[in-house]
Chains A and B, each alone.
Chain A
Amino acid sequence: MSRIDVRKTYKLYINGQFPRSESGRSYVVNDAKGRLMANAAQASRKDARDAVVAARAAFGGWSGRTAYNRAQVVYRIAEVLEGRREQFEAELRASEGVSAAKARTYVDAAVDRLVWYAGWADKITQVTGNANPVAGPYFNLSTPEPSGVIAVVAPRGALLGLISVVAPAIITGNTVVVIASEQNPLTAITLGEVMATSDLPGGVVNVLTGSVAEIAPWLASHMDVNGLDLTGVTDADQARELEVAAADNLKRVRRPAPDTDWLLEPALDRMTRFMETKTVWHPIGV
């Protein structure tokens, strides 16, 4: 007797849970050869709104943890990802049509990228903070702090690309609402399963799948979002409109970079872009 296939329903990842889109919509995702791979949830503006609420609620707890603890959690994501590497390699080969060797390279790089950023958690403050020289009996210290809720448009690289934009944002204490690559959304949701089982508190990373053109403007204009990362936006006009919409509450914006080679070692600017510098004056006791 033949066994019935157990197929996965790909849903969204919001607030540590996997809800269907509030709109009830889904869209067809094809593999690299144009065959049906699965249906993905098509998120609406209301899913984006819920995701922002979840990210905002998670921000206090996540940014309040010690940098050391955030590093442990992100390292744990790397561990769990490593344990499920066969699944990710298979998904990458199917969705992006890459060879087995190439898929292994991407998963290796994704795990390494997480470990690399995990290591930065308790060092970024030392590298970018300062004891400023002032003409008076004061300590004058500048330290970077997380901006808040960051909306991210992820680039095409389904695994490495996504991790390369999400990890730097959360490692410094931000929480994230990320719109997965419209063409390759499935790996992002599988990665959500990894994050949900890695001690990452619910709401720190929220993954939406669907149309960037539909969802991104709502996140760009959302007054409770503090930063906008347009890395995955390919259309220059769309990017400009999003940047204009983001100006209302002075969001920090990172401009598109869809063609980045994600296998290269990143610079620190993905972390520093979404941080605010706080400077305190403290009197020196005589």
Chain B
Amino acid sequence: MRSDSSLRRFLHGLPGVDQVGCEARAAGLGTRSIKTTSKAYAIDLAIRMVDLTTLEGADTHGKVRALASKAMRPDPADPSCPATAAVCVYPDMVGTAKQTLGDSGVHVAAVATAFPSGRASMDIKLADTRDAVEAGADEIDMVIDRGAFLSGRYLDVYEEIVQVKEACARADGSSAHLKVIFETGELQTYDNVRRVSWLAMMAGGHFIKTSTGKVQPAATLPVTLIMLEAVRDFREQTGQMVGVKPAGGIKTTKDAIKYLVMVNEIAGPDWLDPDWFRFGASTLLNDLLMQRTKMTTGRYSGPDYFTLD
């Protein structure tokens, strides 16, 4: 049985993050030049890793259907273009997305637990999660209670993740994958990012995710680097592999490739797989498609040739 104090002892016993070193390492990895066949590989891999996201108050069933169609066939003009990993929607849109995606292999991810603030009672958060799972969500993106974490109530955060994970169970015994969103833009320090990563992994999260996309700064390279180190070290100690998902603010192919370089260098090539690394993004996909078209046709493409959402 864990307690607040044992968690605090462990989390505060983790080595502190060297801020300058971490930022320099992330910037250094961002200067790698990835060209020709490596670039083509990276672009296709990045497309396969995209969680195509729409999380707007103005979302409609029609928009979700359009997004799901795009996820299955991102470039209708080129059948060799791979599908994205998933579409990410609010729980009430899960049914619509599932219906459109059918058995295409593209997953439906739903944000739950009073996304994006996470400010609701536990019962409501669990009901939100069960509702999304029952509607057919393959993956649940939960937000942690940042207030509890920042005020040092680590056990509350831990218990919350454990309970939401239980709520991800389906009637047939299987269970939806759980991604834990930290909202690193609100966590103030890199040390906190490292601590929350370990906390979420110990609580059983399948994926750790940087941000909701609703708070600035969203995903950054240094934060993702710390999380990649955490999943690498966690596997060394426990043998369990946990995925990483940076979300928000990744808009260009260049950015995406920087992340992929970092995944390979920090966590290792095992994570270069849509099962273990994802991009939470909406505009990124079009830039990837434009770059892909540039590589296959040899001429620059334009935004006119790709759908907006």
CB closest chain-B residue, reference A49? B300
Taking the complex as formed, is A224 at the interface, i.e. its CB lies under 8 A from any CB of chain B? yes
Judging by beta carbons under 8 Å apart, are B299 and A248 in contact?
A: yes
How many A residues touch B, CB cutoff 8 Å? 11
Bound: A43/B255 CA distance, A: 23
Question: Is B302 touching A56 in the complex (CB atoms < 8 A)?
Answer: yes
**Contact across chains for A218 and B300 when beta carbons are under 8 A apart:** yes
Q: Is A52 an interface residue (CB 8 A)?
A: yes
- Total A-B pairs in contact (CB under 8 Å)? 26
**B residues contacting the other copy or chain, number (CB 8 A):** 8
With a cutoff of 8 Å between Cβ atoms, the chain A residues found around residue B303 in the complex are 56, 224
Q: Which residues of B contact A218 (CB under 8 A)?
A: 299-300
- Give Cα A222 to B294, complex, Å: 9
**A221 touching B302, Cβ below 8 Å:** no
Give B284-309 as 1s and 0s: 1 = Cβ < 8 Å from A's Cβ atoms: 00000000000000111111110000
The answer, yes or no, to whether A223 is at the interface (CB within 8 Å) is yes
- Enumerate A171-229 residues with CB–CB distance to B below 8 Å: 218, 221-225
Establish whether residues B301 and A224, one from each chain, have CB atoms under 8 Å apart when the complex forms.
yes
Q: Which residue of A lies closest to B293 (CB)?
A: A223
1/0 per residue A213-256: CB within 8 Å of B?
Answer: 00000100111110000000000000000000100100000000
Which single residue of chain B is at the shortest CB-CB distance from A45? B300
Q: Which residues of A contact B301 (CB under 8 A)?
A: 223-224
Secondary structure call for the A interface: helix
Per-residue contact bits, chain A 90-101, to B (CB 8 Å; 1 contact, 0 not): 000000000000
Q: Which of A49, A218, A223 has the most CB of B within 10 A?
A: A223
Q: Which residues of B contact A245 (CB under 8 A)?
A: 299
Tell me the bound Cα distance from A223 to B294 in angstroms.
10
Chain B nearest CB: distance from A220 CB in Å? 9
In the complex formed, the residue of A with least CB distance to B299 is A221
| Interface membership of chain A positions 54-67, coded 1 if the CB is closer than 8 angstroms to chain B and 0 otherwise | 00100000000000
User: In the assembled complex, which residues on chain A have CB atoms less than 8 Å from the CB atom of B299?
Assistant: 218, 221-223, 245, 248
CA A224 to CA B294, docked complex, whole Å: 12
Q: Which of B128-148 contact A (CB under 8 A)?
A: none
Cα of A221 to Cα of B302 in the assembled complex, Å: 11
Q: Which of B298, B299, B305 is packed against the most chain A CB atoms within 10 Å?
A: B299
Q: Identify which of residues 46-95 in chain A touch chain B, using a CB-to-CB cut-off of 8 Å.
A: 49, 52, 56
Neighbouring B residues of A221 by C-beta, 8 Å: 298-300
Interface 0/1 of B3-38, CB less than 8 Å to A: 000000000000000000000000000000000000
- Which residues of the partner chain A approach B298 to less than 8 Å between Cβ atoms? 221
Q: How far is the CA of A245 from the CA of B301 in the complex (A)?
A: 13
Mind listing 12 A-B residue pairs with CB under 8 Å? A49-B300, A218-B299, A221-B300, A222-B299, A223-B301, A223-B302, A223-B305, A224-B301, A224-B302, A224-B303, A224-B304, A225-B302
Interface residues of A (CB under 8 A from B): 49, 52, 56, 218, 221-225, 245, 248
Give the 10 A-B residue pairs with the shortest CB-CB distance, closest first.
A224-B302, A221-B299, A222-B300, A223-B302, A223-B301, A49-B300, A223-B300, A223-B305, A223-B299, A222-B299
